[in-house]
Homo-oligomer: A and B are copies of this chain.
Amino acid sequence: MVVMSHAIHMAGRLDPRSGWSAERCTIAKTLGVVSTRSAFLILREAFYGTTRFDDFALRAGISEPVAAQRLRELVDQGLLEREDYREPGQRTRQRYLLTEKGADLFPALAALMQWGDRWLDERGGPVQLRHAGCGEPVHVELRCAAGHRVSVDELELVARAESGSRRRG
């Protein structure tokens, strides 16, 4: 009998019934910043090197109004930075560049891609990530600070701080 085989082990008195999983959950917070399909696709394009408005709309396959709104939101949230620039002999253009905050979201994108490669594409996905120079394929994984690869069943969830603490009062 395989029961809840994939759920994470709760350490100590971490009880989902207390509501901790919803209140300050940073997955939920992150989804508050990027939850729409169009936002993810725009970020994908940013990682692929797209910088200009029209290209975002075209390559992400979304309409211009939606592109405009998402880009604005992503800039407001600090994931993209909008910048005027001018190449010699050209007129001024605008471009959107990933900030550190935006770039730091890449592992999430890579994880979604990796899952799709495995479960939704019979050929393992159209593109592959490689380690430049080394040339080896790159994957997303869980690893602990001691350097061990960690599988889902080896995970333990612990609370980081008291919910109602005011120790600095």
By a beta-carbon cutoff of 8 Å, the part of chain A in contact with chain B is 3-11, 14, 16-17, 19-33, 35-37, 40-41, 44-51, 55, 59-61, 97-121, 123-134, 136-146, 148, 150, 152, 154-161, 163
Q: Are B48 and A28 in contact (CB under 8 A)?
A: no
Q: Are B152 and A130 in contact (CB under 8 A)?
A: no
Q: Are A49 and B8 in contact (CB under 8 A)?
A: yes
Q: Are A138 and B142 in contact (CB under 8 A)?
A: yes
Q: Are A145 and B141 in contact (CB under 8 A)?
A: no
Q: A25-B113, A126-B161, A130-B155 are in contact. List 14 more A-B contacts (CB 8 A).
A: A4-B97, A7-B98, A10-B48, A26-B116, A26-B125, A28-B44, A35-B35, A107-B111, A110-B111, A110-B142, A129-B142, A134-B144, A137-B145, A138-B144
Chain B: minimal CB distance from A159 (Å) = 6
A140 to B149, alpha carbons, bound, how many Å? 10
Chain B residues within 8 Å of A10, by CB = 48-49
Chain B: minimal CB distance from A148 (Å) = 6
* Pick from B17, B30, B127, B155: contact of A112, CB under 8 Å: B30
